[in-house]
Chains A and B, each alone.
Chain A
Amino acid sequence: MSKKMHIKLNVNGKDEEFLAEPRELLIYTLRERLNITGPHIGCDTSHCGACTVTINGKSVKSCTMFAAQADGAEITTIEGIGGADELHPLQTAFKEHHGLQCGFCTPGMITRATKLLEENPDPTEEEIRFGMAGNICRCTGYQNIVKSIRAAAAEMNAAKEAAE
């Protein structure tokens, strides 16, 4: 066993400190150490994106990063994006437009989509499909995910205009 490392993270606004082996993948830190079980594991070759979280402003597959690498980072998971009482517009849109079925890819999808809309607030269908290409879904055929993201973008843009 290698020497354990002292690691500090800020996850969904909360500071976390723990000792971990360097080989601990961030997805296991989140799920097993911190009980943040929204991010999922769908593969072991970095393809599916079910483990996607936002780390220091970037969409990252947390299965392909060691907790040691993330030391000092700010992380947002699906649990930090909305709440039971106040859903994020993307969460509402996925619900209203049937953008999920089994729900296994949904946390990664929505987390990735928050970043996509931050970078491109009014994406075309093609830009959505390309911008979401790192996330695989077995249930929806993607059509309703595209609809959900378009609806959320419209909602967020309207809210922004109203606020200005």
Chain B
Amino acid sequence: MIPAVFEYYRPKDMAGVLSLLEEHGDDARVMAGGHSLIPLMKLRMADVPHLIDLQDVGGLSGIDIGSDSIRIGAMVTQSDIIDHAGLASAAPILREAALQIADPQVRYMGTVGGNVANGDPGNDMPGLMQCLNATFAVIGPDGERDIPAREFYEAAYMTAREDEEVLTAVTIPLPRGGYAYEKQKRKIGDYATAAAAVQIVRDGDTCASASIAMTNLSDTPIYSEEAGTALVGTSVDDAALKAAATAMLGDIDPTEDNRGPVAFKNHVAGVILRRAIERAWSRA
């Protein structure tokens, strides 16, 4: 409950953030909503001698819906996602997923940027962003660069973002077709036992394209290209659903914990993926 001592900074701009990161190196960390970092600090599992609060840094809170992509600032909260009418029609899967994350109080504070940058495989947005083929913008001492969500996650809490870089925005190609975010959890506010993000484009009775990613079934989110491919050209019948599940099971690597043993997680992953595909197809 009692965090260790630290120095607190609230810079007004990104230049101030970057100079603090440069000055303090590994001893500094940025904080967005604080709802993963502060709990870890309270358990003394995160050692943060220099805490940089991003709340006063401008330009990180916008949601911009363009003709072919959506840009979401890193400090946009989960409740901003849920309440944004334009986003609900342009990318309804975001709202569906955000409503399954944490609880009302946490959603007022927790941000999209914090969720995707955290690196905890339990977070829901990383898999969702892989499904949507999002790109993460980061800024560091050498300037800005973009990292595809599908290449961002290396291991639990290990990402392609360098320590001196800050994630500033998530950009999503405007999603097309039907969607679903299906999550099995023990209770409200729990990380998934298994969750699936699905986006499907339909052409008549045939699946034209499908994108599938899974949450909390490996030490990173899993984009399963083969699971999507298994649906393409089919009428998303029982054989296609089974083929997609088999392909997905080949890509995930769950570990046993208090959400269940490996065999159970594989079983639940299959059930959840089937439900997600069926719902996405019904909306396509």
Contacts and interface: CB of A to CB of B under 8 A. Distances in A.
Given A2-B6, A44-B1, A68-B8, A61 B106 contact: yes
Contacts, number: 84
A112 B3 contact: no
Interface residues of B, number: 29
Contacts of B189: 47, 133-134
A41 B42 CA distance: 13
Contacts of B8: 2, 5, 22, 66, 68
A95 interface: no
A21 B106 contact: no
B39 A46 contact: yes
A52 B106 CA distance: 11
A58 interface: yes
Contacts of B51: 22
Interface in B9-55: 10, 34-35, 38-39, 41-43, 51, 53, 55
B264 interface: no
Contacts of B2: 23
B105 interface: yes
A58 B109 CA distance: 9
A3 B51 CA distance: 13
Contacts of B38: 46, 64-66
Contacts of A63: 1, 42
A45 interface: yes
Interface string A67-82: 0110100000000000
Given A47-B189, A59-B104, A112-B104, A21 B5 contact: yes
A5 B39 CA distance: 22
A60 B109 CA distance: 7
15 contacts: A2-B7, A23-B3, A45-B39, A58-B109, A59-B105, A60-B108, A60-B109, A61-B105, A61-B106, A64-B35, A64-B38, A64-B109, A66-B8, A68-B10, A69-B34
Interface of B: 1-8, 10, 34-35, 38-39, 41-43, 51, 53, 55, 79, 102-106, 108-109, 188-189
Q: 4 tightest CB-CB pairs across the interface, nearest first? A: A134-B103, A22-B8, A58-B108, A44-B1
Interface of A: 1-3, 5, 21-23, 25, 41, 44-47, 49, 52, 58-61, 63-66, 68-69, 71, 112, 116, 131-134
Given A22-B7, A58-B108, 6 more contacts: A2-B7, A47-B189, A58-B79, A59-B108, A65-B38, A68-B10
